[in-house]
Structure formats: structure tokens, C-alpha cells
Structure 1
Amino acid sequence: MRVGISACSDGQFIEWKKQNEELKAFIGELGIEAVFAEHIYAKKDSFSGTDKERAEDLMSFYKDDSIEAIYDISGGDLANGILKYLDWDLIANTDKTFWGYSDLTTIINAIFTKTGKTSVLYQVKNTVYAEAELQRKRFADYVSEKNNDLFDVKYSFLQGEKMNGVVVGGNIRCFLKLAGTEYWPDMTGKVLLLEAYSGEISQIATLFSQLEQMGVFDQVAGILLGTFTKFEKSGATQSVFDLLKEHIPETLPVAQTSEIGHGADSKAIVIGENIGLKR
């Protein structure tokens, strides 16, 4: 099996090259050959290449029949810059799955909107971060089809009893970059996943306000809250759900999980796939 390793968002620091080589070695042990894109490391400010060059890197993996999946290892702010350069018809006609997280929320949801294809919200570099041992076991078990623990997310309900629908969303700040664009998904009947790394109480509150003002909370079938890293460490007296309740109908189901987000121990979830959750 061969996979493409891309960096569609901010360029990687050159100091991270050792991590990336460690990732390559680990998945190599699983029988997966990693092929790195041309533009991985930052060359000019945060850019590893122009928006067009990074888009061409991604499309080269979609065009290469030997590449079975694409793992994006970046994050930051720049991913939505490549969207106008992507060949959606070509992407729609492949069976490759795109993996990424954080700022790659923009690409993942654009892929769903433009092609109907699923993607995986997950950072494969979790296998070389602080919870490497745990993540390597999960990933290896997934690849070998031993079990599906990587995707087995535990949750609890905060409001309502059940929800069912196609999952969209991801990182709330990055997801909202798509608002008002052709890449924004139809939210009708969807399960909206929301998580965040940055943003303390006022930043998260204003993003909830934006979603409310767009009518999103009247359209979706439920909300799944992941982790909100900086908010949860900020010492705020209100919880994420306390804030959310100010913007949603009392009848809208809301569930919460500590297993999706930016934590080094975070699991994966498929965007664009139907899920059913119940209390």
C-alpha cells in the first residue's frame, strides 16, 4: 500500500522533519509506503508553496493510481486557499480517502460538499506525539483490521435522547471559513461536529452566535461537541455547553465526547458518513 503525505495548510517547520521521518518509518512497519509531497516544509513565511502548488501536490496524489489514501500532516490557516484549484470531478471519481484535522476541516467538508465523498478527521502524526504508543496500537489495529478502536468514540448526551444524520463540521473556526462559499455543506438533517484548539470563552461564544445567525442550529439534527482545548484550560466558569445553550433550541439533541479534537489521544471520525447516537 502507498499513501501520499501532504501539507495543504501551513508549511511544516524544518525542525519537525525528524517527526515526519519517524511517521514514515512507523507506517512503513505496517506495510505502508509513504510518498511525501513536494511542498511540505515552510519556505516563505508560513508557506511551503503557493496555494496553486500545494493544490497541485494534492491533485498529483489523486491522479496517481498507486496512491490509495492521502494523509495530510499540516494544520494552521492556509488550507482553504487551495480549494479553487482542485479538480472536483477527478476527486469524485477516485476511491481515495483524505485524512487530516484542524485547518484541514475546510478541505474535508469541501470534498463532501462538492463530491459527496467521505474523509477522516484525524491527524496521523498523533502516532509520533505524546500518546504515540496508544495511537500506534489503534492505528495498527485499524490497518490490520483487528478492530476499529481508532473510530470507536465514547460519548454522553447533554440534551435529548438520540440523533441520527450525516456528520459534517470539525474545527469550528476553520469550518466557518466555508460560510457563504460554494464549499459550505447543506446542513439540513446533519449531525454537526464542533471542536477547537484555540479560542477562549469570548471567541467560542462569537462563533456559536455566527452559527445561530446563519440558521444552522435550526437545520441540523444534532450537535456532537468534541474537545475545546484552550477554552477548557482557561478557567472559565461556564462550560462549552453552557455557552451553546444560549444559541440552540431546547429540543436539539447535544452529545459530548472527550475523544475527538486536538488532544494527542484523540480518535478519528468520518466526515460525510451517517451516524446514529443514542443515550
Structure 2
Amino acid sequence: MQPGDTVAIVSPSGPPDAVLLERGIERLEGLGLKVVAGTHVLDRQELDYLAGDDAARAADLQAAWCDPAVSAVFCSRGGYGAARLLDLLDWDAMRAGTRAGPKVLIGSSDITALHNAFAIELGVPTLHGPMAACDVLAREPGPEPLTWESLQAAVFGSPQPVRGDRVLAPGRAEGVLSGGNLSLLASMCGTRWQPSFAGRIAFLEDVGEEPYRIDRMLTQLLQAGAFDGVRGIALGSWVDCADPYPVLRDRLGRLGVPILAGLPVGHGSPQMTVWLGRLGVIDTESCSLADTFRDGEQAR
């Protein structure tokens, strides 16, 4: 992306706070970007955890993605609801929108459902990062500095390595980075968008889950074959998850691949931005996750 590009903001999941959304728009405009908001971005409905009707949220997302003037689609926030849109989107039209010009989806948490579906249906890389109306980007007096720096670097073409703080299994692994929020990935088992980390580096994070629940979700993914052929594992933040590392080591250590943990990616603060669907490398000696994308290479 370049200054002057147009970005759209949509609400595929929960309803954003209007004040935070306005600040988020102002901050993106401060980067020299032109910002347009989806028609239904501030809608509400009877189910107050959803930002408007499913059809309206899907229409906003599809319109933004298929608009050739839009270079990036920012999600306003997470919460819940993105998975409800997957069978409402016209994937043929979405593929046509992809061919109309390069663009990227940006979001995290519940947006994992879209990251995974976009990779499968469209074959495009996406950005796992802070959203337009999230606190770390839209708070006062300004965005969290490391979060803001990382987002700008990724959006404008120079993604930065992200440092972890612990190693669960040593080694080095290279592969396309895939994954996101553990709860969402587990919920997609048995659907046409079931995750697979074959030949890839799996990225996992979550928030507010007790260790036994993390065990249950990892066990589900393991038994579904999602980790068959995985090359390495990058573990992000586990905010309000007590101590998740014994169960993460127990469930994932048996895979015999490098596992880097403590990456500030996911929930909490800071929230670093990483590319999904592009080549990455984890190196436990330097305790880092780095983007190694080369021209012409992306997820297949």
C-alpha cells in the first residue's frame, strides 16, 4: 500500500464502539490513507453481540472486497459473528474482486474465520493485526506505540520480525504462516473451511480460556488431522488463560517440530501485525518469527 490508497472499514463480527471507530478512522487518515466505512458498519440488531444482520454484514464485506478502488479492508473489531457470513458470501464474485487488483484483509480474533476462508477460497495472504476500533489503535491519547509501528511497517511493505520470550521445542522452521485464534480454528473443524497446517507454520493464540479448554481444542484439531505435516508452531498471546504452557507443551510437543512461544500477537498489548499466507520462519535461537516472503510466492 501507499499513502493515498483507499481502505474500507467493515464490521463482520461484533458491533464497534462509535467513538473508538471514529478515532480509528482519524488515525488511518493520519497515515495519508483515504478511509470509507461500510454502509452497515454501526448497525445493531436484536442479538446484541452481532453488528447488524448477517446479510448486511456480508454485503458490506463483499462490496468492499470487490471494489477495485479499495486496497485494504479493515475489520472494525472482533467478538463473534464472522463465521456466520461464510456461506452468505458469493465466493465467485469475491474471486473476481481479487483479480481486479491486489488488496488485503486486516483483523484478528474472530476474524480468524475470514483469514482461514480467504486462504482456502481466494488463495490470498491476509494481515493478522489490530482492528480499526480496538483499544490499542483507537485509545487516547494515541495508539500503543509498538502496535502502531508494527501495523504501519506491515501495511506499507516492510514487516518487522516479532520476538518471542520462550521456547517450548528448539529448532528452525520455514513455511507459510497460517492460523489465528484457537477457538475459531477448532470451531471450523468439520466444515469446508477446516484448517490444515500441512507444510506450514501454525500460529495459535487465544484469550480467556482455561487450560483444560485449550487442551480440548488442541485435541480436536489433532484428532481432525489439522497438524499433520506441520513444520513448526508459533504461539502468540494467551491473555487471561492462567498458565497455558504445560498443556501447550503436552499437546504440541509430541509433534516433534520447533515451537516458539510468547509472541506479542493476538490479544493484549502490544498487538504486533504478522502476515498469514506468506512465507515465514521461526528461529528459536533468536526467538523470532520473521516474514521471508519473496516476490511471486504466496499461499497455494
Shorter-chain TM range is: 0.7 to 0.9
Q: How many residues align?
A: 267
C-alpha RMSD of matched pairs (Å)? 2.1
Cα pair distance change 1:11/1:214, threshold 3 Å = same
Quick one: distance in 1 between partners of 2:55 and 2:103?
Answer: 21
Deviation string for 1:214-244 (max 9, x for gaps)? 233333111111111011xx3xxxx423112
Quick one: distance in 1 between partners of 2:29 and 2:227?
Answer: 43
Q: Please give the secondary structure, in 1, of the residue aligned with 2:191.
A: coil
2:12 corresponds in structure 1 to: 8
1:103 corresponds in structure 2 to: 110
| Selected match of 1:48 from 47, 51, 61 | 51
| Selected match of 1:127 from 123, 137, 147 | 137
Quick one: distance in 1 between partners of 2:116 and 2:27?
Answer: 28
Q: Please give the secondary structure, in 2, of the residue aligned with 1:158.
A: strand
Q: Please give the secondary structure, in 1, of the residue aligned with 2:268.
A: coil
Q: How does 1:60-71 map to 2 (within 5 A)?
A: 60-71=63-74
Quick one: distance in 1 between partners of 2:195 and 2:154?
Answer: 29
Cα pair distance change 1:226/1:143, threshold 3 Å = closer
Percent of counterpart pairs with the same letter? 25
**Letter of the aligned partner of 1:255 in structure 2?**
L
Quick one: distance in 1 between partners of 2:156 and 2:277?
Answer: 24
2:295 corresponds in structure 1 to: none
CA positional deviation for 1:184: 2.0
1:90 corresponds in structure 2 to: 93
| Selected match of 2:183 from 142, 160, 173 | 173
Deviation string for 1:38-85 (max 9, x for gaps)? 222333222322212111101111222211110001211211000112
**Letter of the aligned partner of 2:246 in structure 1?**
D
1:31 corresponds in structure 2 to: 32
Q: Give unpaired runs (5+ residues) of structure 1.
A: none
Cα pair distance change 1:190/1:226, threshold 3 Å = same
Deviation string for 1:144-172 (max 9, x for gaps)? 66x544xx211353203111111111010
2:148 corresponds in structure 1 to: 136
2:207 corresponds in structure 1 to: 197
Quick one: distance in 2 between partners of 1:18 and 1:120?
Answer: 24
**Letter of the aligned partner of 1:136 in structure 2?**
W
Does residue 118 (structure 1) correspond to residue 120 (structure 2)? The answer is no
2:76 corresponds in structure 1 to: 73
Is the 2:215–2:251 contact (alpha carbons within 8 Å) kept by the matching residues of 1?
no
Is the 1:153–1:257 contact (alpha carbons within 8 Å) kept by the matching residues of 2?
no
Q: Please give the secondary structure, in 2, of the residue aligned with 1:132.
A: coil
Is the 1:89–1:115 contact (alpha carbons within 8 Å) kept by the matching residues of 2?
no
Does residue 256 (structure 1) correspond to residue 261 (structure 2)? The answer is yes
Quick one: distance in 1 between partners of 2:149 and 2:197?
Answer: 35
**Letter of the aligned partner of 2:32 in structure 1?**
G
Quick one: distance in 2 between partners of 1:113 and 1:256?
Answer: 26
Quick one: distance in 1 between partners of 2:214 and 2:255?
Answer: 20
| Selected match of 1:58 from 61, 67, 75 | 61
Quick one: distance in 1 between partners of 2:156 and 2:263?
Answer: 26
Cα pair distance change 1:142/1:225, threshold 3 Å = closer
Quick one: distance in 1 between partners of 2:103 and 2:83?
Answer: 20
Quick one: distance in 2 between partners of 1:263 and 1:48?
Answer: 22
Does residue 21 (structure 1) correspond to residue 22 (structure 2)? The answer is yes
**Letter of the aligned partner of 1:269 in structure 2?**
V
Structure with greater proportional helix content: 1
Quick one: distance in 2 between partners of 1:31 and 1:53?
Answer: 29
**Letter of the aligned partner of 1:257 in structure 2?**
G
Cα pair distance change 1:144/1:55, threshold 3 Å = closer
